[in-house]
Amino acid sequence: MRAVRVLERVLITIPIMFGVAIVVFLFMRLTPGDPVDIMMGQGGAVTTGEIEQLRHEFHLDEPLPVQLWLFLKGAVRGDLGYSYVQKRPIGELIGERLPATIELAVGALFFALLVAVPIGIVSAVKQRSLVDQISMAGAFLGTSMPAFWLGIVLILLFSVRLRWLPVQGRIDYGTELQQVTGLYVLDSLLTRNWTALISSLRHLVLPSVSLGAAAAAIVARVLRSSMVETLRQDYITLARAKGQVEFLVVMKHALRNALIPTVTVVGLQVGALLGGNMIVETVFSWPGLGRMVVQAIFERDFPLVQGAVMVYAFTYVMANLIVDILYTTLNPKITL
């Protein structure tokens, strides 16, 4: 029964997440440098007694397996620990910046699919035409471009020279927006704040394009190749012979099957989007999780890095889970 298989698949992610947490935890503990020293480095002179007290408070005097157990216990409850540098719980810090990152990732994915799907279909249908060749050349270019460079070039072009789009941030300075979800575009729609909507969309364009370009290129190529493969199949010829309208032959029969390998690739690209996030956020000064992680690394705020990496890994695992489930929806031959 499919529902059981889906449940199985969901349950498998739990040990994976445990593994991820352990890997991340070990990495942090293997770092040279004492966490308490790092923390004290921010303050001034402290007595040995205070150091010991802090050690005890953060359970650093306990044996490693105990620390791991405490960490895991907390992580399951959403308590990811405490940032020594920013003096705030990590869960809070991450929660603040996560919506911005999600908005950017969704924007990039949206752009990628918006561009890749039509291009992939048209290129496959009109194989070797001018459209096809230009698209595939563009796709090649897309996979060869570093995202940070693309972002900078886009800024130069659209913000500096043409002045059409803003350089950084999520919304124009001074624009009021009542926050519901933390996703500015959604919030402005929900509160019918049209100025905010336009402003946040304008800010979202360039970062989304920079981040999504590479993904768009890859998805377009894969979609095209699987479409070409599918269009060669006998059942397509049969549909045509039966007098089916060409548009429906392509969009209904061929596309559905061609989407199967494509969906897998999209899942992998989500991972790339999560990673590239950090870079694009840095380029556009986007106040998201990625930029916070980069700053945390320079501030040697390892617990924060650890918590953020776990959140990223978790999101990636979830995304792949969704992809797997979607995969079975599209292809009834495959059971989980």
Partner 1 sequence: METSAYAKTPVDRLTYSWRVRLRLMRRNFAYFLTELRRRPLALVGGIVVLAYLLAAVLAPHLTDHDPTAGNLRQRLLPPAWEDGGEAAYPLGTDDQGRDILTRIIFGARISLAVGLLSVGISVAAGTALGALAGYWRGLLDDVLSRFADLLLAFPFLIFAIGVMAFLGPGFLNLIAALTFKGWVEFFRLVRGEMMAEKTKEYVEAAKVVGQSHPSIIVAEILPNIIQSVFVLGTLRMGYMIIMEASLSFLGLGIQPPTPVWGSMVAAGRDYLLTAWWASTLPGIAILILVLSINVFGEGLRDILDPRLRIE
Residue 140 touching partner 1 (CB under 8 A): yes
C-alpha 252: how far from chain center? 29
Q: Is 16 in the site for partner 1 (CB under 8 A)?
A: yes
Stretch 198-227 residues interacting with partner 1 (CB under 8 A): 221-222, 224-225
Taking CB under 8 A as the criterion, the residue among 228, 323, 330, 336 binding partner 1 is 228
Single out the residue of 1, 160, 162, 241 in contact with partner 1 (rule: CB under 8 A).
160
User: What amino acid occupies position 235?
Assistant: Y
164 is a site residue for partner 1 (CB under 8 A):
no
The minimum distance between CB 125 and partner 1, in angstroms, equals 13
Instruction: Candidates 13-21, 98-106, 107-115, 246-254: pick the segment binding partner 1 (CB under 8 A).
Output: 13-21
Q: How far is the CB of 261 from partner 1 (least distance, A)?
A: 11
Q: Which stretch binds partner 1 (CB under 8 A): 35-43, 51-59, 87-95, 155-163?
A: 155-163
Contacts of 194 (CB under 8 A, 6+ apart): 188
Q: Rule CB under 8 A: is residue 129 a binding residue for partner 1?
A: no
Among 189, 198, 317, 321, binds partner 1 (CB under 8 A): 317
Q: Could you say whether residue 143 binds partner 1 (CB under 8 A)?
A: yes
Stretch that binds partner 1, among 107-115, 171-179, 187-195, 308-316 (CB under 8 A): 308-316
**Contact between residue 104 and residue 288 where contact means Cβ atoms under 8 Å apart:** yes
* CA dist 45 → 40, 150, 175 (Å): 8, 46, 44
Chain residues in the site for partner 1 (CB under 8 A) = 16-17, 19-20, 23-24, 27-28, 30-31, 127, 140-141, 143-149, 152-153, 155-156, 160, 221-222, 224-225, 228-229, 271-272, 274-276, 278-279, 282-283, 293-294, 297-298, 302, 305, 309, 312-313, 316-317
